[in-house]
A = this chain, B = another copy of it.
Amino acid sequence: MKKITYVTRRAQFSAAHRLHNPEFSDEENRRIYDKCNNPSGHGHNYDVEVTVVGETDSDTGMVIDLKILKRLLNDYVIEKLDHKHLNHDVDFMSGIIPTAENIAIKIWEQLKPHITSGTLHCVKLYESQNNYVEYRGE
């Protein structure tokens, strides 16, 4: 009988960002985003966890080859975000306010087309040890 398992790979990137909506007034931006609206930006060590769900292959004992998941996460996410400024340096974040919510959604969109074994289930993004978000494609 086939068994469903959830397989998660974790990685880390360090990036700068600034929360600022150009359609808000400066005063609204400061009120809504507070310290996160600092004009020169600030930064985080982000931890990202990607979960794939599927049947465990009876020959290999795996849902997805973790080497491949590690490589996809590295090539489509870490390489593009690590040691970057999320407002200026990342093609797929262009025009997006880099809240943790939006970064998680964009990481999902980056990875989704490449997960061909199992199904992408969740992207979890830690902005700090006290803040994290999850996006499950809903």
Contacts and interface: CB of A to CB of B under 8 A. Distances in A.
Contacts of A21: 59-61
Contacts of A130: 9-11
A5 B14 CA distance: 22
A115 interface: no
Nearest to A47: B129
A83 interface: yes
B97 A5 contact: no
15 contacts: A5-B133, A7-B132, A8-B133, A12-B129, A15-B43, A16-B85, A35-B83, A40-B41, A40-B87, A42-B84, A43-B45, A44-B45, A45-B45, A60-B99, A66-B131
